[in-house]
Structure 1
């Protein structure tokens, strides 16, 4: 083999190993990230407190002042 072919093979193998390590790292990172929450977000119209509640609740009582509030739509 010529020296240029050896250098090319060496660089190609190193880049392939680097790409495989990056792919493995990305897949592993995604597996351990938390998924999106199904909870609904509420904002109290009296005191302004922002809180979450279960996804099956349409109106929720504020934990700070006790007022019932509707879901925030983004």
Structure 2
């Protein structure tokens, strides 16, 4: 994880990501305690999107991170 010119960059063995503001918000919310539903609620509130849309986006993003071994399930 590295901040480059105001953008958060995260790397894994398979993929590198330059995170958007909302992706960075989700990434920083992944702490081993927050559930996907809770992170979705935070995203919904912050970006004023319906909770179902926010949770779907969180699931999609976290799935990408898992598949590319940037995060791991505990």
TM range (shorter): under 0.3
Larger Cα-atom Rg? 1
Q: TM-score, normalised by structure 2?
A: 0.27
Q: TM-score, normalised by structure 1?
A: 0.27
Q: Which has the higher strand share?
A: 1
Of structures 1 and 2, the one scoring higher in RCO (CA 8 A, sep 6+) is 2
